[in-house]
């Protein structure tokens, strides 16, 4: 059933998925992490209160998040073409994956940072800490275990999104499952993809739990 040809296809598709997911996770944090921080510190009563910016940012994030990913994917085709030169293939998929994940990451980061007790920020302020010092020395380090879990959740979400991108030619396990499993009725391929996806998701979650646990345990 699982012959060499299939195995080869599966391995390659798995690699493509990992590549897409990891790249878009990194890129989405590159933009989403600062946005999440801004979302927190510009809120009312926080260290850089800017209510206008906060509202606009919150609104944009909500608007982006309310569009279902599959529609987002199609809407973004022109932009994807502009950035990647094409809208088909793994590299092109990274554009919509990243753009869809950024607002999600921003909210995840916001949630993690909001858990920090205000007293810690107040203590840093009382020592004369600047906004940047508070971000880099208080907010981010204190929220580290929670932020790591956020990365795991984001990555897992992106595994799912990448499969959707695969259906419109994005490459990876999604493409494999769609073309071979669905259109050619090759059930074994369909099931093999599902099993690989389960392993991927489990692996990411375990890694996240482990890392977060290690950081938290050191402090305990």
Partner 1 sequence: MIKIKELSKVYLTPSQKITALDNVSLTVEKGEIFGIIGLSGAGKSTLIRCINMLEKPTMGSIVVDGQEITSLAKRELRTARQKIGMIFQHFNLLSSRTVFANVMFPLEIAKVPRPEAARRARELLELVGLADKEGAFPSQLSGGQKQRVGIARALANGPKLLLSDEATSALDPQTTRSILKLLRDINRKFNLTILLITHDMNVIKEICDRVAVIDNSHIVEVGEVLKVFASPSSPTARSFVNTVISREVPAELLHRSQVQNEQTHVKLIRVSFIGPSAGAPVISSMIRQFDIEANILYGNVDRIKDTPFGNLALELIGPPGVLQESMDYLRSRGLEIEVLNNA
Q: Which residues are near partner 1 by CB under 8 A?
A: 117, 119-120, 122-130, 133, 137-138, 141-142, 144, 218-220
54's CB contacts (< 8 A; 6+ apart) are 39, 42, 43, 44
Closest approach of Cβ 138 to partner 1, in Å? 7
In the bound state with partner 1, the residue whose beta carbon lies nearer, of 137 and 187, is: 137
Q: How far does the chain reach from its first CA to its final CA, in angstroms?
A: 50
Q: For the CA atoms of 97, 22, 40, 108, what is the dihedral angle to 10 degrees?
A: 80
Element (H or E) spanning 168, and its range? none
84's CB contacts (< 8 A; 6+ apart) are 91, 92, 94, 95
In the bound state with partner 1, the residue whose beta carbon lies nearer, of 84 and 215, is: 215
Closest approach of Cβ 128 to partner 1, in Å? 4
Question: Which SS3 state, helix, strand or coil, does residue 166 take?
Answer: helix
In the bound state with partner 1, the residue whose beta carbon lies nearer, of 16 and 142, is: 142
Closest approach of Cβ 141 to partner 1, in Å? 4
Closest approach of Cβ 105 to partner 1, in Å? 21
In the bound state with partner 1, the residue whose beta carbon lies nearer, of 22 and 124, is: 124
């Amino acid at each position: 059933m699982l012959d060499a040809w299939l195995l080869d296809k599966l391995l390659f598709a798995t690699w493509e998925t990992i590549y897409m997911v990891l790249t878009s996770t990194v890129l989405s944090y590159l933009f989403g992490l600062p946005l999440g921080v801004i979302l927190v510190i510009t809120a009312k009563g926080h260290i850089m209160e800017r209510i206008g910016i906060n509202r606009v940012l919150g609104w944009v994030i909500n608007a982006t998040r309310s569009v279902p990913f599959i529609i987002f994917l199609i809407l973004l085709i022109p932009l994807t073409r502009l950035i990647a030169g094409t809208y088909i293939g793994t590299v092109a998929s990274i554009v919509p994956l990243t753009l869809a994940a950024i607002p999600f990451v921003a909210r995840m980061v916001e949630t993690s940072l909001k858990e920090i007790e205000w007293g810690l920020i107040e203590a840093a302020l009382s020592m004369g800490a600047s906004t940047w010092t508070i971000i880099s020395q208080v907010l981010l380090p204190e929220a580290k275990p929670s932020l790591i879990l956020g990365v795991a959740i984001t990555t897992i979400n992106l595994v799912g999104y990448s499969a959707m991108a695969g259906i419109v030619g994005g490459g990876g396990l999604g493409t494999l499952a769609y073309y071979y499993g669905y259109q050619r009725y090759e059930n074994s391929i369909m099931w093999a993809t599902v099993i690989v996806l389960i392993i991927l998701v489990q692996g990411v979650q375990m890694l996240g739990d482990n890392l977060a646990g290690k950081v938290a345990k050191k402090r305990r």
